[in-house]
Structure formats: C-alpha cells, structure tokens
Structure 1
Amino acid sequence: MITQEDFQALTKKYQDGSCSPQELQQLENWYNKKGKNNPNGELPDDVWEDDVERFLQTFDSESGKQQKGARINWPLNILLAAAAIAIIGTFSTLLFKRTAITPTQYAVDVDPGGNKATLTLSNGKKIELSEAKAGIVVDASKLTYTDGTLINNERAQSFTISTPRGGTYQVRLPDGSTAWLNAASSLTYNSSLKGKEQYRNVKLLGEAYFEVAKDKEHPFVVTTDKQRIEVLGTHFNVSAYNDELSVKTTLLEGSVKVASLTTTGSETKGVILRPSQQSVLNSNGISVHQIDPTIAIAWKNGEFIFMDERLESIMQKIARWYNVEVIYADKEIANRPFSGFISKYEKVSQVLCLLEATGDVKFKIEGRRIMVKP
C-alpha cells in the first residue's frame, strides 16, 4: 500500500533521476488497485491531485516545454508512462495530454477513425458492418454483433474481416478467441483446414491484438506474409504492415513461438517469447527485446503512445488512423525522435498541435493531406 508520503518521496527521486523500475512498479500496482473504482483514472484525493500537478508542472518547467495557461490532465497511468520514458533513455520531448489547446493555425481539420469494417464470406458476399457496433461474434450457425444483434444466418465457415484506413473492429472466433483489428488490416479465418490447425488458424495483414482461448490439443496459429506464430492460449499483439520494414510480435501473457517464413513458405527455427518481450523480424532475422507491452497495445486502448520514436513512424500511425496522406517538405525531419501520448479520439489537429509544441516541427492540413515542415 503506497501512502501520500511514499508518492511524494518517489516523485522527488524521479526528479533527481534516481527512481528505479521497481519503484515505478510499486506506483503502478497501487494505481491498478485504486483504478478499479476509478474508471477515469483520476486520483480520488484533492491533496494528491495537487502533488501530481506540481510534479508534472515541475517536469515541464525543467524540460523547457511548459505551456502557460494549459492545464494538465494527469491520470496516474500517464504519469508512470512519463517517468518510464525518461528512465528508458533520451527523448526529443514529452508531450503531456492537455485541455484547452486550440489549434487556430489549422483552417481545416480531420476527425479520428472509428468502428468500420467489411466482412467477406466464403461465397463472396460482402457485408458492411455497422459503425454503431464494436465487433462481431462468429459461430457455426450464425453471425451476430457482440451485443447479440443478428447480422446473418449464413454459416461462416471461412471469411475475411477487413478494416479500412481510419477503421477498427473486433471479432470473436468460433473457438472463443478474440481479435481486435487496427486500421488498414485484415484477418482471414478458414475452418476447412485439417489436423492440428483445424478451427484455430488465421492469416493477418496489418495489425491485431489477440486474446486466445486455451486449448492444449489445438494450437492457435497466426500467419503473416513473413512469419508464423503458434500459441495454446495467450494475449499478444502482432504488427505486420507491408509498408513497414519489420514485423513486431509483443507478448503480454503466456508464451508464443515466433518463426520466420522463407520465400517458399517453409518455417525457420523460431524463438519463444515470454511476457513483456517483443520479437522484431526484419532483413537481419529475428531479435528479441524486453519492453513495456502496454505501449504496443496503446492503439487497442484508444491511445497513441510514442517512446523515442521516429517522426516518420509516428506519422504512419496518424495517416492510417485519420486516413490522411503525409508529405514531407524536408525528408530529414522524418528521422527526428519524439516521445509522448494523446487519445486517439482527438481530432488530428490536437495531435499535430502537441507535436508542434516542441518547436521542432510544423504542419499544414490541406483536405486529407498533411504537410510536414521543419
């Protein structure tokens, strides 16, 4: 149990640069317990609010990025993310989520994405899924939305669910596993396979987060263009966009086997991931890194979280979610690193405004095109 005095001592240690990962974990454990009765993530005590507010304002002042007149929204999970960013290494700037920021320099704006997807059945029939629903449930006899509303009486033996740029959707598979699709992604399910892969095999293009139902007799297999993942029951995220140089698999719970695929489709010797590990597959092969997995699934939780990430990578995520085109006036700026966070459900101007607050980059919105300038 952490007390107010403990919190004050830990934040002082953070300001001194001596806060350890174990001490951050202590704060996180406290937050997880308190947060159950506190869905918005706000601390329940006004005195605590003052403590956290002062801490963030001090950090802002020290980093030289304080914006006068802008009040900080400071849920403790964001405080922990901020501290983690600082501990992990150098960063260009830390972007605190703020209110009352009016991006007046933008004459036009773009709304965030939402629940959008198309379901294509094995007979070729296409169903545009409701934007008012969050996901679908597939079983042997019918298709329904997650709230029980009937979609179709046809049996979905095989299907592909696809999200456009600016879209996301959830699908519960017949074995009880659930997948959340990110923007510009597709998931293909085929129940006609035989042997150990029957009923538990999907192909992914793009990005998805999986919560796999346990079944020791039948491994669950996710195949992308470049790799194969095999699990029995676990939670993990896969990012396999064709326009990115690497495929990333991040494990939250359980264990998974990740193997690369040759050009002929044969599987190479793989690696076993443990919780909080991420495999990165690129032209040099597969490497494994210890990371904070909550960053990898921030998109699924409605957030952008960047940690010392290249601007080009950040703008790729923005382009997919807001369905915009990004153009660089100077390509060199694309390599600059940024760290920070903001809700995915803000208008694009709010995201750009926070990036601009660093003084290192400028943006211009023209319809669905964003110009990036130094």
Structure 2
Amino acid sequence: MANFNAYDFLKKYEADECTPEEQAIIEETYIDAQVTPQDLLEMEPDLNDLRLRLSKIPNKPRRINWPLNILLTAAAIAIIGTATTLLFKKAAPAPIQFATDIYPGGNRATLTLQNGKTIQLSDTKSGIIIDASKLTYNDGTFINNEQAQAFTVSTPRGGTYQVQLPDGSSVWLNASSSITYNPALKGQEQYRSVKLSGEAYFEVAKDKNHPFVVTTDKQRVEVLGTHFNVSAYNDDLSVSTTLLEGSVKVAPLTTTGVSKEIILKPNQQSEFDANGITVHAVYADDVIDWKNGSFSFASESLESIMKKISRWYDVEVVYTDKQVGDKPFSGAISKYEKVSQVLCLLEATGEVKFKINGRKITVMK
C-alpha cells in the first residue's frame, strides 16, 4: 500500500469507495473508539497502525459459482470418516413412500401497523417498501397511505418476504420469522432499532450518526451500514451472526444486561449458546443461500437440515432413531423443488431414509 495516507483513506470511506475489508477496518475503529469517521479524520497522527492493518489484508481466493444447471445435473458421493459429502443432482421420480408430496413455500407475510391494523401481503409479490407516508410493493404497486413509523412484518412457516425499511435498509425474512421496526430514542443517541425472531439477512443503509441495532432474545448486534445475516430461531440452541461486508459489533444479552462485545469481520460467524460466544471463519455467501433460493449445507447435522426443511415446507419431522439426526451432510439444492426431491437426494447417500405421511416426515436409519 504505497504512499498510504490515513486522511485519504478516511475520505475514501466517506465517499463510500472502500472495499469491504477496508470498510470493516474503519468501522471497527469507529466502534472501538466510539467516535465518528469525521472525528477520525482529525486523529490522523493516531492512525499509523492503519497502514499495517491494511497491508495484512489477504488476497481472497475466488469462489467458483457454477451455473445452476451444472450443479443440478452433476453428482458425487464421498464418505470421509463419519462425514457424508453430497453434491445434489436432479432426482428420479419419487418412490412409493413419497406417494404424497409437499410443495415448497413462497412469498407470504403479514404487516402489522402500530395501530394494530394488519395487512396480508400479496403472495404474487416478493417484497414491500415502507416509508412514513405510504406503502408500496417493490415493483412499484401502490398499497395505501398508511402511516408506518413502527410496525411488524411476519412470515409464517413456508413463507419468505423482502422488506425495505423507512431508512432505506433492506431485510430478507426467512420462514417463520418476524421483525419489529422502531426508530426509538435510547439514552442520548438515536438508534434505528429492529427486534428479530427467526432468521433475516440485512443490507443496512449507511448512516454514521444513527447506528442500526438488531436485538433478539439472546443478543444485540450494532452496525453502521453493512451486510449480515442473523439466525435466532427459538428452537435452535444457538444464535448465529454472519458478516458479509463491513463490520458488526455482537454482544450477548444476559440477565444483568449486555455482556462483553466482539467485532466480526467479513466471512466470520459468531455462535452464542449456553457455553458462551465463539467466532469462526465461514463462506458467508453459503450462509445466505436460503435468500437466493437454495438449501446449502456444509458438514451440517441432519437434525439441523430437517429443521430448515420443516420450516420451509411447513411439515412435522419425527425420528425413529434420534442418533441419525447427528449425521453430517454437505450439499446444495434448489428450495423450489418438491420435498420428495430433497429427501430422495439425501437418501442417495445410503445413510438415511424417509417416509411422508400427510404433512409429517419420518426420518429412519
């Protein structure tokens, strides 16, 4: 990084011209010091470490995004130790145990306004734009002139929806999830505040003067303007936060308030459970495959996979042998296949079998 100048770097940030890695560094500095980027411009003599930190940014390996038709027509099965790795392909016609089939979920959500009024959102649209004076779908279709300064958007099992918030931030809700938006005052600072249940992917509009805060029952996430995913389902044992761009501050919530905070950088994921909080490296793009229409698993337990299937297809899952739920699988398949196609491909490993009866799936060894 020849001829590095901290002032020029910070001006680059102000102009929104930084790489995701550079943005993460400057926002981490902001969060640590609790000052604005403009304040940092006046602290140039104290920012000599930026040259060193930026020089250590690795050249990220390119990830090959194979065309979907190639992924769906190729298959490979390999067993390494106890891990089953599976690259899913298009399945053959469903066998007799899948005589009754289940279709995937779709665009379904309910908007609840501060006055208690509810609006069932169109399942022929994929998202809604909410501002203080009107409601529209993301294709420009007008809904009405409702005041929506605070509101809740909820998806059912088998539902997903995109929401553009009044501040310009975008949120993609996964199945069986909800967000409550409230630009409330907290102390002396104004926060853009969202309460989340379930899973959502956020692309937050940058506003250095008004941090964006996502709270769940177990943790608090604070950002300035970035892309990240939070999974906080009540029936999961942990809450995960995955960063794609920028920087986020994650803090577990305890009975005494906010505990020690950590800073995530791109392609890092925090996991908070009964044992505390840990951070590990991930391919963040894989984590949000659900938003882009796929199931994607990387050495993930069958129990965790079946929870996702249960939410998306709105089915009950039961086990004849609980131990089978511990088996790890890896692979990917479109979320828009019938459930039988997904189950057949899992069965192709020879590690598990399934039976469909109505809206109940039985998992067998």
TM-score, shorter chain, exceeding 0.5: yes
Cα deviation per residue 1:196-236 (whole Å; 9 max; x = unaligned)?
A: 76461100000000000111111000000010000000000
TM-score by length of 1: 0.77
Aligned to 1:78: none
Name the structure 2 match of 1:213. Answer: 205
**Structure-2 change in CA distance of 1:139 and 1:199 (3 Å):** farther
Segments of structure 2 that go 5 or more residues without pairing to the other structure are 1-57
2:240 paired with 1:248: yes
Is the aligned partner of 1:336 residue 2:327?
yes
**Which among 218, 221, 227 is matched to residue 235 of structure 1?**
227
123, 139, 143: which is aligned to 1:131? 123
Larger relative contact order, structure 1 or 2 (CA cutoff 8 Å, min sep 6): 2
Shift of 1:163: 0.3
In the other structure, the counterpart of 2:86 is 94
Partner of 1:68: none
Give the aligned residue type for 2:290. Answer: W
| Identity rate, percent | 65
- Offset from partner CA, 1:35-70 (integer Å, 9 cap, x none): 9xxxx5568xxxxx9xxx9xx67x55xx38xxxxxx
Give the drift of 1:191: 2.9
Q: Find the counterpart in structure 2 of residue 353 from structure 1.
A: 344
User: Partners in 1 of 2:69 and 2:344 — Cα distance?
Assistant: 24
Other-structure match for 1:17: none
Match of residue 187, structure 1, among 175, 179, 183 = 179
Tell me the alpha carbon deviations over residues 264-296 of structure 1, each in whole angstroms, 9 at most, x when there is no partner: 5x1111100000000000011111001111121
Q: Match of 1:269, as an amino acid?
A: K
> Which of the numbers 154, 170, 173 marks the counterpart of 1:178?
170
* SS across alignment from 2:148: coil
Flag the 1:199–1:270 CA change in 2: closer, same or farther, 3 A.
closer
TM norm structure 2: 0.79
- State how far apart, in whole Å, the 2-side matches of 1:42 and 1:23 are: 29
Residue 159 of structure 1 is matched in structure 2 by: 151
> Are 2:61 and 1:25 equivalent residues in the alignment?
yes
Counterpart-to-counterpart distance in 2, 1:154 and 1:23: 48
- Partner secondary structure for residue 93 of structure 1: strand
Is the Cα–Cα contact under 8 Å of residues 82 and 328 in structure 2 kept in the other structure?
Answer: no
Structure 2 counterpart SS, 1:119:
strand
Matches within 5 A, 1:188-337: 188-193=180-185, 198=190, 200-264=192-256, 266-337=257-328
Between stretches 185-194 and 250-259, larger displacement belongs to 185-194
> Secondary structure of 1:189's match?
strand
AA aligned to 1:246 is S
How many residue pairs get aligned? The number is 307
- Determine if contact 1:144/1:152 at 8 Å carries over to the other structure: yes
Is the Cα contact below 8 Å between 1:158 and 1:189 reproduced in 2?
Answer: yes
Structure 1 unmatched ranges of 5 or more: 1-21, 44-48, 65-85
Tell me the secondary structure at the aligned position of residue 61 of structure 2. helix
